[in-house]
Amino acid sequence: MAHLENDVTKALLNLFDHCSPAVLKSFLQILYIKQAPGAFNFDFQVSDTNAYRRYPKRIMLSIISADTQLKSSESYSVTKTIPDACIFSNDTAILIESKTQSPLNDVQIKCQINQFFGTATKERIITWEVISEKFRILSGKLKGLDRFLVEQFCGFLDLIGISEFSGFSELDFFMLGSLGKIPDEDYADSERLFHRKISKFMKLLKTEMKPVLSFKNFDTYISRVPTQAIETHSGFYFYDKNPKIHVNHYPNINIIYFEYSMELTLNAEIQHSVKRIMSCLENKGDKVDAAVKKQSGLKLFVYYKLQYRPLSNFIWDLIPGFPRRQQGQVLKLDKLPRRCYIEAILNPHQTISEECL
């Protein structure tokens, strides 16, 4: 994590160093600093504890991602801490602590203030997402090398999942297929970064879906980072305020991410939720088909699959509502539309016969 924080901080300083003053000016505007950008210099990995103590204006700036956790841990103890950077002019010093994945610990920040600034310091927190959006807008007004470097920097922030979400890239999905082809540690890192994008994607979806799903309490979930799997998933689930009613009482909506595609599924775990899905297919199947056909700009493969694998063991028998059916018993599917592709798995080696469709 530390090397990534160093990389992104160094990239930011390089941007200021090699671009016209307009880029640094845009950054300073976020901090409400009106000084001319040409007056500032840069220091990476600050080690001199006396260099900036006497500056009239001293700002302790934490740059974090939108999902960075804020912690206060008295157990944090170091004899010496090294800020990631400092941007300074004749009378202003901006000490920077960058976070991309690790939590922001206020004890660490206070330690840096004491060691490098002393007292009377302003503290500010901004996010990489705010910076990326500011630079994205700015890039449209730039030309030549300035525009190229700013776009590359924004692309870097997007790649590591700390920019405003603007969609998934092909590279995101390509990395899902790299398990076994790159070191496990690198694969785990890529999965964590991909999950950051999924988190932002789900927040946007939740906002969009809120009026549509207002008929029921719902929330989003994201799977744990699968460091040894080539797919991951997120989704929506419905719930009651009654804690005795399990969330599986209702169907849930899953989004599964593969190397070459995303799969949207309506999933049911127990008999009650299975019946709800089948009722929807019977009564509203045509509306679902019509809605799918209206979608443009997407390559869609749509199918309906009813999968059932009856198990009988002590634990599953205790789950309320879990279907009890003897092996070999056929599901009654004759009322479902013939356009649906239905598969009922009665055991790992047996599927429902075609004449039952």
Under the banding of pLDDT at 50, 70 and 90, the label for residue 326 is very low
Decide if 165 is inside a domain.
no
328 compared with 93, residue with greater pLDDT:
93
Under the banding of pLDDT at 50, 70 and 90, the label for residue 321 is low
What's the predicted TM-score (pTM) here? 0.69
Share of the chain above pLDDT 70, in %: 80
Is the model's pLDDT at 333 over the cut of 60?
A: no
Is the model's pLDDT at 338 over the cut of 50?
A: no
Range of the domain at 125: 2-159
CA pair distance 163, 63, nearest whole angstrom:
12
C-alpha to C-alpha distances, 23 to 1, 5, 20, 29, 90, nearest whole angstrom? 27, 21, 6, 10, 20
Share of the chain above pLDDT 90, in %: 27
Q: Are residues 184 and 72 in the same domain?
A: no
pLDDT score recorded for residue 187? 84
Q: Are residues 108 and 35 in the same domain?
A: yes
Per the listing, tokens 């995101």 go with 172
Average pLDDT estimate for 176-204? 86
Decide if 184 is inside a domain.
yes
Q: Are residues 127 and 197 in the same domain?
A: no
Q: Are residues 199 and 336 in the same domain?
A: yes
Q: Are residues 215 and 84 in the same domain?
A: no
Q: Are residues 184 and 235 in the same domain?
A: yes
pLDDT score recorded for residue 144? 93
Q: Are residues 175 and 151 in the same domain?
A: no
Q: Are residues 56 and 179 in the same domain?
A: no
**Per residue in 67-92, pLDDT tens?**
888 877 666 566 678 889 999 999 89
Residue 143, phi then psi, degrees to nearest 5: -135, 165
Decide if 79 is inside a domain.
yes
**Per residue in 225-234, pLDDT tens?**
777 778 888 9
pLDDT score recorded for residue 21? 93
CA pair distance 122, 150, nearest whole angstrom:
28
pLDDT score recorded for residue 356? 33
Overall domain count for the chain: 2
Decide if 9 is inside a domain.
yes
Q: 10 Å Cβ neighbour count for 159? A: 15
Domain final position from 105, 140, 159:
159
**Per residue in 232-248, pLDDT tens?**
889 998 888 888 888 88
* 355 burial via Cβ count (<10 Å: 0-12, 13-18, 19+): exposed
Decide if 74 is inside a domain.
yes
Strands 92-98 and 85-88: antiparallel
CA pair distance 36, 15, nearest whole angstrom:
17
Average pLDDT estimate for 157-179? 85
pLDDT score recorded for residue 261? 81
Q: Are residues 192 and 62 in the same domain?
A: no
Under the banding of pLDDT at 50, 70 and 90, the label for residue 129 is very high
Tokens of 94: 């901006």
Domain final position from 124, 159, 194:
159
Domain final position from 104, 131, 159:
159
Is the model's pLDDT at 353 over the cut of 60?
A: no
Decide if 70 is inside a domain.
yes
pLDDT score recorded for residue 325? 45
Decide if 164 is inside a domain.
no
Q: Are residues 127 and 244 in the same domain?
A: no
